[in-house]
A and B are shown apart, each in its own frame.
Chain A
C-alpha cells in the first residue's frame, strides 16, 4: 500500500554525496514533504527503508549511472516504487534506457532546488490515484 492517505508525502532520498543530499533534503522539506535520507546503496538498509517507510517516491541522486546505480534503480522499480533520478553525465542513450525501465522523471545535475520540488510535485500528481481511465491506462503501460 502506498502512503496516499497521509497529509505529508514521504520521499526517500538516496545520495552518496552529503552536499547534494543535504541540499535536496532541505529543498524537499521546505516544499512540505517528509524526507528520509539514505547515504548508501547497500541492499539491507535500502530494503528496510522501502519496506519500513513505504515512501510515496524515491529520489536517487548520483554522479553517473553505473552498474551500482543501475542495480539500485531496478530494485526500486521491482518493488513498484516511483522513482526520480538526478544525475550528472546523462547521455540521451542513458536517459532513454532509464525511461524505458520505468523511471518517472530524470533531471540533470546540477539542478535548482525549486526545480526539484516542482519535479517531485508533478510526479506525485501524476501517480495520485484518480478514478480516471487515463490514469489506469498510463499505470498499466508503465
Chain B
C-alpha cells in the first residue's frame, strides 16, 4: 500500500514551514503547508489530513493568536476528532497551553525555543500510532463490481449528494479508504463485500478482516456515511438498542471512527451460525413460506422481544403525526412523484385510473385525503427499529435474525415495524416481473375484504387463491405479519385494525418516493394507498 500519513503545517514563517516539511517528508509523511488561517481552511476543506502542526501567531504582530482561533474553527466544523493537532509556537503561555489541552484536546504543545528535529519526528510518529490510530498499510480488497468510486455514489454528505462529476466524489473516496484504515487498524487486510444502501444517503458494507497473527476474523457490518447521520445512529443504538440487548444473539458496536466528512460504525453480529448471514431479501427469495414464518417469529418474539415487552400503557396516539414525523416527507414531493408516473391518470374529481388495469376503473386519489389528516387511536408505543425492510434484517443459516441500521430507531407506534415489513414484502420483495398490477390489485382487495378487526385476521387465508407462486408467497408472508401485528396489540380491548391500516397507508405513500423501484411496484403502492383510504373512510371525513 502506498498510503502516507497526511500532515498540514500552518505557520506564517516560511523557514519554519520549509524545515517542518523537510523533516516530516524525510520521515515518510505527506505534507502540505499553509501560511494563514484562510489557506489552512481551504486545504482542510479540500483534502484529508490526519494531523495539523499549528503555530499560534499566524500574523507577525504582537499578541496575534490566530492559531488558537483556528483550533476553535476546527471544533466548530467538527474536524477536531478526525484531525489531530500539535501546537508548535514560540509564543506559548500557560493559558494557551491549558486551553489547547482542556478545550481542544490537542495532542501536544511544543515550543519552538527548544525544538529538536528528531524528537519532533518521534513525537509525530507516536501520535500516529497512539492517537490517530490508523493502519495505513491496510490492504483493502473492494468488490470488483463496486469499487469505492461506485460505492460513494449512494452517499449524501453535508446535505449534498455525491454524483459522478462532483468534486466531492474523489474526496469521499479517499475518506472511505481512510475510514476503513481506522476501523480495521489491527487487521492486515480486509475483504469487502457489497451490501445495501442505508437510510437517507448512507451505505452498508460487509467486511471480513484478516489479522497478521490469527488469519481471518469474523465478518462485520460497516455502516458509513455523513458524520452527523452516523452519530445519530450511534446515539440511537446506545439509547434504544444496547439497553435491550440480551441472550446469545445480538448486534453490537465494535468500533466507531471518523474522518473529516464521514464516520463509520462497525457492527458485529454475535451468535451467527458459521457467519453465513444474508439479508432478508435474499433469504426470502430462497426460503419456503415455513422458513420465512419461522424467521419472522424469531424476529418479533426473540430479537425484538425486549422492545415489545417494554411497551407502555394503552394511550391515545396521534398516528398521523407519528408517521409523518418518521417519514418526514412533504406531500408536495409525493404529488411530484405521482405526476411523473406515465401510467397513472389523475382525474379532476380526485380519482385515479391506471392504464395497465382493464376497464378504466376509477380509484380514490389518497393524496388529498391525507392532507391535514389527524387520526388518533388508543394503542401502544414502544421502541421500534423505525426502518424494517429486507436490507436491514439479516438472517443466518438457522433462520436467526439480526438488525442493522438504527438511524430511525426510537419510540413510536408499536405496529410501525411490522407494517413497514408488510409493505416491503408486497411492494419490493414481490418483484416487477413476478405479478401484474391486476394480480396485485386482487391480492390487496382480498387483504382488506371485510376485515375491520384484528380478530378477523384469521379469515384472510381463505379470501385469496392464486397459481402465481411468488404472489402466493407474498400473500402468505403478509398474512403472517398481520397475525404478528394482532398479537402485538392483543391486550388492546378495542380490536380495531384501523391503526394498522393507517400505518400501511403511510408506508405505501412513502414507497412512492423510492426511485429504485419499478413503475409497477410504485403503482402497486399507490393502489394499496387508495384502497386503504377507502377502507378507512378518509374520503367521507
B344 at the interface (CB under 8 A from A): no
Q: Which of A4-12, A34-42, A93-101 contacts B (4 or more CB under 8 A)?
A: A93-101
A1 at the interface (CB under 8 A from B): no
- A133 near B109 with CB under 8 A, answer no
Task: Encode B81-97 as 1/0 by CB contact (under 8 A) with A.
Answer: 10010000000111001
A48 at the interface (CB under 8 A from B): no
Q: How far is the CA of A140 from the CA of B105 in the complex (A)?
A: 12
Q: How far is the CA of A40 from the CA of B130 in the complex (A)?
A: 34
B131 at the interface (CB under 8 A from A): yes
Q: How far is the CA of A54 from the CA of B81 in the complex (A)?
A: 30
Q: How far is the CA of A131 from the CA of B102 in the complex (A)?
A: 20
Scan residues 92-134 of chain B and give those whose CB is less than 8 A from a CB of chain A: 92-94, 97-98, 101-102, 105, 107-111, 130-131, 133
* Contact A92 B97, CB 8 Å, known A131-B235, A136-B256: yes
Instruction: Report A-chain residues with C-beta under 8 Å of the C-beta of B98.
Output: 95, 105-106
- A138 near B105 with CB under 8 A, answer yes
Q: How far is the CA of A99 from the CA of B25 in the complex (A)?
A: 28
Q: Nearest-CB distance from B121 to chain A (Å)?
A: 17
Instruction: Report A-chain residues with C-beta under 8 Å of the C-beta of B92.
Output: 92
Residue of B nearest to A122 (CB): B102
B231 at the interface (CB under 8 A from A): yes
Q: How far is the CA of A108 from the CA of B98 in the complex (A)?
A: 11
Residue of A nearest to B265 (CB): A133
Q: How far is the CA of A96 from the CA of B256 in the complex (A)?
A: 29
- A95 near B263 with CB under 8 A, answer no
A134 at the interface (CB under 8 A from B): yes
* Contact A105 B94, CB 8 Å, known A131-B239, A133-B234: no
* Contact A92 B111, CB 8 Å, known A105-B98, A133-B263: yes
Instruction: Report A-chain residues with C-beta under 8 Å of the C-beta of B256.
Output: 133, 136-137
- A134 near B239 with CB under 8 A, answer no
B238 at the interface (CB under 8 A from A): yes
A132 at the interface (CB under 8 A from B): yes
Instruction: Report B-chain residues with C-beta under 8 Å of the C-beta of A126.
Output: 102
Instruction: Report A-chain residues with C-beta under 8 Å of the C-beta of B235.
Output: 131-132
Scan residues 111-142 of chain A and give those whose CB is less than 8 A from a CB of chain B: 122, 126, 131-134, 136-138, 140-141
- B97 near A137 with CB under 8 A, answer no
Residue of A nearest to B253 (CB): A136
Scan residues 73-102 of chain A and give those whose CB is less than 8 A from a CB of chain B: 90, 92, 95-96, 99-100
Q: Nearest-CB distance from B174 to chain A (Å)?
A: 20
Q: How far is the CA of A138 from the CA of B101 in the complex (A)?
A: 11
Q: Nearest-CB distance from A65 to chain B (Å)?
A: 14
- B94 near A134 with CB under 8 A, answer no
- B81 near A99 with CB under 8 A, answer no
Q: How far is the CA of A104 from the CA of B102 in the complex (A)?
A: 7
Instruction: Report A-chain residues with C-beta under 8 Å of the C-beta of B81.
Output: 133-134, 137-138
Partner of A131, one of B84, B109, B111, B234: B234
- A141 near B102 with CB under 8 A, answer no
Most buried by B among A92, A108, A122: A92
Q: Nearest-CB distance from B383 to chain A (Å)?
A: 14
Scan residues 457-510 of chain B and give those whose CB is less than 8 A from a CB of chain A: none
Instruction: Report B-chain residues with C-beta under 8 Å of the C-beta of A133.
Output: 81, 230-231, 234, 256, 258, 263
Partner of A141, one of B97, B131, B234: B131
Q: Nearest-CB distance from A92 to chain B (Å)?
A: 6
- B263 near A96 with CB under 8 A, answer no
- A99 near B97 with CB under 8 A, answer yes
* Contact A95 B97, CB 8 Å, known A104-B102, A133-B81: yes
Q: How far is the CA of A92 from the CA of B107 in the complex (A)?
A: 15
Scan residues 227-265 of chain B and give those whose CB is less than 8 A from a CB of chain A: 230-231, 234-235, 238-239, 256, 258, 263
Q: Nearest-CB distance from B101 to chain A (Å)?
A: 4
Q: Nearest-CB distance from A101 to chain B (Å)?
A: 11
Q: Nearest-CB distance from B241 to chain A (Å)?
A: 11
Task: Encode B284-317 as 1/0 by CB contact (under 8 A) with A.
Answer: 0000000000000000000000000000000000
Residue of A nearest to B102 (CB): A105
Q: How far is the CA of A79 from the CA of B425 in the complex (A)?
A: 53
Instruction: Report A-chain residues with C-beta under 8 Å of the C-beta of B110.
Output: 96
Instruction: Report A-chain residues with C-beta under 8 Å of the C-beta of B108.
Output: 96, 100
Scan residues 39-71 of chain A and give those whose CB is less than 8 A from a CB of chain B: none
Instruction: Report B-chain residues with C-beta under 8 Å of the C-beta of A132.
Output: 231, 234-235
Q: How far is the CA of A98 from the CA of B244 in the complex (A)?
A: 40
* Contact A95 B231, CB 8 Å, known A137-B258, A141-B131: no
Instruction: Report B-chain residues with C-beta under 8 Å of the C-beta of A96.
Output: 97, 108-110
Q: Nearest-CB distance from B256 to chain A (Å)?
A: 6
Instruction: Report B-chain residues with C-beta under 8 Å of the C-beta of A104.
Output: 102
- Report which A residues bind B (CB closer than 8 A): 90, 92, 95-96, 99-100, 104-106, 108, 122, 126, 131-134, 136-138, 140-141
Jot down 11 A-B pairs with beta carbons below 8 A, ordered by A. A95-B98, A99-B101, A99-B109, A104-B102, A105-B98, A131-B234, A131-B235, A131-B238, A132-B235, A133-B230, A141-B130
Known: A92-B97, A92-B109, A133-B256. 8 other contacts (CB 8 A): A92-B94, A96-B110, A99-B101, A126-B102, A133-B258, A136-B256, A141-B84, A141-B130
User: 5 shortest A-B CB distances, which residue pairs?
Assistant: A131-B238, A99-B101, A141-B131, A137-B81, A131-B235
